[in-house]
Chain A
Amino acid sequence: MFVVGMHAPEIAATVRAGQFVNLAWPRGPLLRRPFSVYRAEGETIEVVLKAVGVGTAQLLGLRPGDRVSCLGPLGHGFDLSGPHAILVSGGLGVAPMPLAARDAHAAGMKVTWVHGARTAAELCTEAEGEVVVWATDDGSRGFHGTAVAAAPASGAIVVCGPNRMLAAAAERWPDAQVAVETYMGCGTGVCLGCAVPLRAGGCDRACKEGPVYRAADIDWTVLPAHLPYGVGA
């Protein structure tokens, strides 16, 4: 997992947890790529990524001082209120959580962060919160099982991770706020490419009405569980 920082004062000043930026870079893919904002401090924002494809490899190949085009902050973030925030993340779902911890603390909440990955080696190394719980699928560190299973039951629950994990979270906590992952075309609400199927019927846009939803509002049987982001040239 890599953290990339960018000088983006306007975004850094206003971004809320769960919002994202849509990035384009020189000689990159045609479409922008959405990233949750990981941290924002002073005039800098950070995003977190894995080298999954050609695009992310190009992004990791940038040098300090290179310029990227950054649209944001986009979408609606988490609504954090109450006495206690439970942040539940899996894999790259760690992305919005440092900001969620920041916003929860600013709202006077106590923060418990539960983070899960397949193995101890894939866990993130940075965690914030009064209570931090680790979970691994293979039991190599912390709770043996998923982050959803490891999390305490009550509080304002915020979940981010693969859609399969979010569907499991929806079973346990219908009222949890989940940040979904979709393909995205424009990120600004016009292309309707990032459709999120709703239980009430129809679709709306992850980039505009989302990416944060009430878990039980999404039709998880129709939302793709995995996103093959292959472009191939």
Chain B
Amino acid sequence: MSVDIGGLELRGPVLAASGTFGYGTEVPLLERRALGAMVSKGIFLRAREGTPPPRIAETPSGMLNAIGLQGPGSEVLIRDYAPRWAEWDFPVLVNINGESAAEYGELAAMLDGVPGVAGFEINISCPNVEQGGLYFGNDPRAAAAVTEAVRRRTRLPVWVKLTPMVSDIGVIARAVESAGADALCAINTFVGMSIDLNAYQPRLSFRTGGLSGPAIRPLAIHLAHQAARAVRIPVIGIGGISRAEDALEFLVAGCTAVQVGTATFVNPRAIAEVHDGIAAHLESKGYRSLADLPRYLPRD
């Protein structure tokens, strides 16, 4: 069940998605044996308070969240969390965020070489303060600039988490591949909105939020597939995975691994169940490894 993600060997194809596993220290119930890797909660250079409540709203088969990337900042991460990660038997990648390409680079440089930090997942769904708040992830040049800024400051694996809120994900995928990404994570949450009919106001204080959960799965599979067709580097599928069958859909659609997110909120054993279910599927079909799994990936 091991997979190679751009040179990083993982013991399994099921990873914990950023923001759904904290810093890995919070939930004692979680089964870690099946975890291929963990992506930390998103972090900025400096501490952030996050958005006021309400921060989440449930929707049909999904949830909207606007947490606002609340976090303690990079110094606390290095002091309190990385030393613990260094002792674990699976790699931890840090989800990094910034307001400018230079800030992403600075954060990567600061974390590079810290024991316990195995690589980076760049969240390009942040507003670019230097470009009037346009999202890095919506513009191939800005997405490439951020990737390059991080690439220049580290030799660790650099993954880029793509936003689905684009007209052609292949264009962004190719841009960040050329800028030096080792892998792509597809996709981040969709921007959504829901209205409270008592207050005649949005249900989230931030007005909009990121939609996750089973509601987005077919959209996510399509976008992960489009990304995988566009590039040669591995694609890690994300979006509404709660069972092994969901993960297998992403794998067959061209992904090398998957991340499980919202499902962990509901079922602390979700990652282990997805992992074990994939293994059982391979065995029932007589495949000796994931490499034998048939893929549907016609090249563009």
Binding site for B on A (CB under 8 A): 24, 29-32, 69, 71, 182-186, 188-197, 201-203, 208, 222-224, 226-233
Chain B residues, Cβ within 8 Å of A195:
50-53, 55, 67, 70
Among the 9-residue stretches B18-26, B76-84, B106-114, the one with 4 or more Cβ atoms under 8 Å from chain A is B18-26
Partner of A190, one of B20, B55, B205: B20
Partner of A203, one of B50, B203, B213, B262: B50
Chain A residues, Cβ within 8 Å of B73:
none
Among the 9-residue stretches B156-164, B183-191, B194-202, the one with 4 or more Cβ atoms under 8 Å from chain A is B194-202
Contact (Cβ within 8 A) B58 A223: no
Among the 9-residue stretches B119-127, B147-155, B263-271, the one with 4 or more Cβ atoms under 8 Å from chain A is B263-271
With A190-B20, A192-B67 in contact, do A30 and B58 touch (Cβ < 8 Å)?
yes
Chain B residues, Cβ within 8 Å of A222:
52-53
Give min CB distance, B208 to chain A, whole Å.
15
CB nearest neighbor in B for A204: B70
Contact (Cβ within 8 A) B65 A228: no
Partner of B265, one of A29, A191, A196, A201: A191
Contact (Cβ within 8 A) B61 A233: yes
Contact (Cβ within 8 A) B268 A71: yes
Give min CB distance, B56 to chain A, whole Å.
4
Chain A residues, Cβ within 8 Å of B70:
192, 195, 203
Contact (Cβ within 8 A) A32 B196: no
Contact (Cβ within 8 A) B53 A30: no
Chain B residues, Cβ within 8 Å of A29:
58
Contact (Cβ within 8 A) B265 A31: yes
Question: Given known contacts A194-B56, A195-B55, A231-B59, what 17 new A-B pairs fall within 8 Å (CB)?
Answer: A29-B58, A30-B262, A71-B29, A182-B53, A186-B265, A188-B26, A190-B26, A190-B265, A191-B67, A193-B56, A195-B53, A197-B53, A203-B70, A227-B54, A228-B196, A232-B59, A233-B61
With A71-B268, A192-B70, A232-B60 in contact, do A185 and B52 touch (Cβ < 8 Å)?
no
Count of chain A to chain B residue pairs whose CB atoms are closer than 8 Å in the complex: 112
Contact (Cβ within 8 A) B60 A231: yes
Chain A residues, Cβ within 8 Å of B20:
186, 190-191
Decide yes or no whether B15 CB sits under 8 A from chain A: no
Q: Decide if the interface of chain A is mainly helix, strand, loop or mixed.
A: loop
Decide yes or no whether B49 CB sits under 8 A from chain A: yes
Contact (Cβ within 8 A) A231 B53: no
Chain B residues, Cβ within 8 Å of A194:
53, 55-56
Decide yes or no whether B57 CB sits under 8 A from chain A: yes
CB nearest neighbor in A for B51: A195
CB nearest neighbor in B for A222: B52
Residue pairs across A and B with Cβ atoms less than 8 A apart, 5 shown, are A30-B266, A31-B63, A183-B57, A192-B67, A203-B50
CB nearest neighbor in A for B47: A202
| Alpha-carbon distance A192/B49, docked complex (angstroms) | 11
Contact (Cβ within 8 A) B214 A30: yes
| Alpha-carbon distance A222/B50, docked complex (angstroms) | 13
Give min CB distance, B23 to chain A, whole Å.
9
Chain B residues, Cβ within 8 Å of A193:
55-56, 65, 67
Contact (Cβ within 8 A) B26 A189: yes
Give min CB distance, B140 to chain A, whole Å.
31
| Chain B contacts with A in 192-243, Cβ cutoff 8 A | 196-199, 203, 205, 213-214
Contact (Cβ within 8 A) B268 A30: no
Chain B residues, Cβ within 8 Å of A185:
56, 63, 65, 265
| Alpha-carbon distance A192/B53, docked complex (angstroms) | 10
CB nearest neighbor in B for A202: B49
